[in-house]
Structure 1
Amino acid sequence: MGDRSRWLQRIGGSLFWRVCLVNAAVFAAGVAVLAVSPATVSSPVALGEFLVLLVGLAVILVANAVLLRAVLGPLDRLRSLMEDVDLLQPGQRLPEQGNGAVADVIRTFNAMLARLEAERALSTGRALAAQEGERRRVARELHDEVGQSLTAVLLGLRGVADRAPPALAEEVVMVQEAARSSLDEVRQVVRRLRPGVLDDLGLCSALTSLVNEHAWLTGADVQRRFSTSLPPLDPQTELVVYRVAQEALTNAARHASARRVLVELTETSSGDAVVLRVLDDGRGVDGSEEGAGVRGMRERALLVGATLTVGPHESGGTDVRLRIPLHPREDGS
C-alpha cells in the first residue's frame, strides 16, 4: 500500500507524467466523443465528414493547448523572472500556487532568491563597512601627516618671506600661496572621504556643508530644503543618506551638467518614512544601463532597508529619491 502511494505521488508530482496524463485525458475524451457520436467516415471521405474531423481535431488541439498552458505557464513566468531578476531590487517573487514539480521549482527559486538577497546584503554591508573604515584611515593620515606637513611648510615660508630680500619675496609668496592651495585641497579631500561634521553636528549640518561645497565647486544654483522636525536616525542610516546625496550631486555635475539642483530631506505626511530627494535640471535619464554610481547608491540603500528610485522629472532633469522607512516607536506614540 505504501509503495502504491509513493508511486502515485511520484506520477502526480513529475512534470513528465503530468504532461502525459494531460495529453492522454484529452485524446481519451476525443476518442470517447467520436465513439458515442453518430458521425461516420466513409471511403473515400466525404467533404462534410472531412470538415467534422477537422473541427474535432481543432477542438482536441485547443483543449490540449489550454491544459498544457495551465501546467507549463508558471515555467514561462519563472524564465522571465530569471532573466530580469536584480538582487539590488529585492522582493521579486512568483506566486506559489498549486503543487507538483512546477510549484516545487517556484518555491525553490523563491527561497534561493531570498537567500541570495540576504547574502548579498550581508556581503555588501561588510564591503561598505570596510570601505568606510579605509576612508576614515586615509582621511586621518591625510589630516595628521600631509596636512600638518603642509602647515609646517606654510609657517616656514612665512618666516622666509619675512627675511627674504625684495627680489625673492614675491617668489616666496607665490610658493606660499601654492602650498596654501594644496592644503585647502587636502582638507577638501578629507571632508569628502570622511565628513567630520556628520559625526559632530549631525546630518542636516553635513548636508548643508555638502550643498555649499558643491555650489562653490560647480557654480550651480543649489537649493536645500530640510524639515525642522526630522526624527532621529541611527549613524549608519545618516551615513547612507549623506553618501547617496553626495553621489547624486556628483552625477548631476559630472553626467547631467545641471545648473540648478534641489536637495530635500523631509518626513512623509504619514510619518512612516524619511525621504531624501535630489532634483536637477540636467540632461535627465536616457534609458541606458545604470552606472556604477547608481548601483552603489542602491547597495547602500539596501543596508538600511531603504528604497531608491532614479527617474526623469516631469519638468526635465533627473529625480533621485531615497525613502528610508521608520520603525514604529515602542510606546506606540
Structure 2
Amino acid sequence: MPLFWRVCLINGAVFLVGTLVLALSPATVSSRPLWSEVLVLFVGLVVIVVLNGLLLRSVLRPLDRLTTLMAEIDLRQPGLRLEQGGAGPAEALVQGFNAMLERLEVERTTSRARVLNAQEAERRRIAQELHDEVGQSLTAVLLGLKQAIDIAPHDVVEELEQVRETTRASLEEVRRISQRLRPGVLDDLGLLDSVSSLASDLTARSGVPVRRGFLPGLPHLPPETELVVYRVAQEALTNVARHARATEALVGLTRRGDTLVLRVADDGVGGADPSRGAGIQGMQERAQMVDGRLEVRRREGGGTEVVLEVPVPAESA
C-alpha cells in the first residue's frame, strides 16, 4: 500500500477511536461548556494528537535516517549503508536505497577499472611510440652527429659535441619517460626490484636518499595487484620529489598475515590532504580496484606517510 494511504488510514483510525470514545462514554457537553468538560475535551485531543504522532513516527522514522545518510554518502568511500530493521512501509524504501548504493558502487568500480585499464593501454602505446619512433630518431641523429664530428673543421667540433651531448641527454630522458609510462620492469625484474628502481630513480633525479625496507618471503601477486602497488609507489615517490621538500624518504614492502603493506614516507613539510589532488584520488581508486585500502596521513615529527594495504590471494597466503 502506498505511504500516502497508510498515513491516511492511521489518522482515520485514530480519529475514529477518539470519536467512538466520545460517543460511547457517559461524558456530555452542556450548551454552555463547563471548565471540567473543556478539560476532558482538551485531554482527549492531546491523547489523539500524541497517539497519532507516535504511530506516524514509527512509520516515517526510516525516512529521517535515509535523509541523514544521503547527506553523508561518498562513493569514493564505499560500504556505507542504512541500517535495516522493522517492518514499516519506509523499510522498502530503505532496502531499495541500499540496493541502489550497491549497484552504484559495483558500476563505479567496474567503470573505474575500465578507465584505468584504458589508461594503462594508452600509456603502453605512447611508451612504445616514444621508444620506437622518437628514440630511434634521436639515435639516428647521434650517429649523424658523430659522422659530422669526424669530418667537421676543428673550430666547430666543440659545438657539435655539445649538440651531441644534448641529444644524448634527450634520448636518455625519452627512455626514462618510456619506462615510467610502461613498467616493463615488472615483467623483467619483479615487484621488489621495480619498486627499488623507483627509489633509485628518485635519488638520481632529486638527490633525496631513499631507505628501503623489503622483507623476504613476499607472496606472489596477480599482475593487476602488482601493477596497482607499483603505480601507488610511483605516485607517492613522485609527490615526494615534487612537493615534500624532504631530506630523506622511506619505501617498504612488508606482509602482515594475509595483507601486503606498501609504505612510502618522508620527512618533508607534510600536509597532504587526501580529499584533494588527482594524484591521491587516483591512488585511492587504484587501491579500491584490488579491494585494497589506502591511507595518507601526517607522520609524527613531520612529513607524510602513504600506506597501501592489499589482500593476498588465498593460494599465495
**Do the structures match in fold with TM over 0.5?**
yes
Tell me the equivalent position of 2:118.
130
Q: Residues of 1 paired with 2:81 and 2:46: CA distance?
A: 36
Tell whether the 8 Å contact from 1:15 to 1:100 is kept in structure 2 after alignment: no
Counterpart among 248, 269, 274 of residue 236 in structure 2: 248
**Per-residue Cα deviation, 1:18-47 (whole angstroms, up to 9, x for no partner):** 43444456667777888999999996875x
Tell me the equivalent position of 1:200.
188
Q: Residues of 2 paired with 1:39 and 1:150: CA distance?
A: 106
Residue 217 of structure 1 pairs with residue 205 of structure 2? yes
Residue 115 of structure 1 pairs with residue 103 of structure 2? yes
Aligned partner letter, 2:270: G
Q: Residues of 2 paired with 1:98 and 1:70: CA distance?
A: 9
Tell me the equivalent position of 1:169.
157
Residue 324 of structure 1 pairs with residue 310 of structure 2? yes
Counterpart of 1:262 in 2: which secondary structure? strand
Aligned partner letter, 1:160: A
- Using the TM superposition, give the Cα deviation of residue 150 of structure 1 relative to its aligned residue in structure 2, in angstroms: 1.3
Counterpart among 231, 234, 237 of residue 222 in structure 2: 234
Identity of aligned residues (%): 57
Name whichever of 216-225 and 126-135 sits farther off: 216-225
Q: 1:228 to 1:63 in 2, by over 3 A?
A: farther
Tell whether the 8 Å contact from 1:40 to 1:49 is kept in structure 2 after alignment: yes
Counterpart of 1:72 in 2: which secondary structure? helix
Tell me the equivalent position of 2:132.
144
Q: Residues of 1 paired with 2:233 and 2:268: CA distance?
A: 16
Tell me the equivalent position of 2:277.
291
Matches within 5 A, 1:81-100: 81-100=69-88
Q: 1:318 to 1:21 in 2, by over 3 A?
A: farther
- Using the TM superposition, give the Cα deviation of residue 161 of structure 1 relative to its aligned residue in structure 2, in angstroms: 2.3
Residue 276 of structure 1 pairs with residue 262 of structure 2? yes
Name whichever of 243-252 and 196-205 sits farther off: 243-252
Name whichever of 155-164 and 62-71 sits farther off: 62-71
Q: Residues of 1 paired with 2:300 and 2:266: CA distance?
A: 11
- Unaligned residue ranges in structure 1 (runs of 5+): 1-9
The TM-score normalised by the length of structure 2 is: 0.85
- Using the TM superposition, give the Cα deviation of residue 61 of structure 1 relative to its aligned residue in structure 2, in angstroms: 5.3
The TM-score normalised by the length of structure 1 is: 0.81
Residue 188 of structure 1 pairs with residue 169 of structure 2? no
**Per-residue Cα deviation, 1:132-191 (whole angstroms, up to 9, x for no partner):** 111111111111221122122222222322333321111111101110110111011011
Q: 1:70 to 1:259 in 2, by over 3 A?
A: farther
Tell me the equivalent position of 1:154.
142
Name whichever of 111-120 and 135-144 sits farther off: 111-120
Tell me the equivalent position of 1:76.
64
**Per-residue Cα deviation, 1:230-275 (whole angstroms, up to 9, x for no partner):** 100011110011111111222333344444322221111xx21111
Q: 1:258 to 1:105 in 2, by over 3 A?
A: farther
Aligned length: 316
Matches within 5 A, 1:100-111: 100-111=88-99
Q: Residues of 2 paired with 1:29 and 1:286: CA distance?
A: 63
- Using the TM superposition, give the Cα deviation of residue 207 of structure 1 relative to its aligned residue in structure 2, in angstroms: 0.5
Q: Residues of 1 paired with 2:37 and 2:279: CA distance?
A: 69
Aligned partner letter, 1:253: A
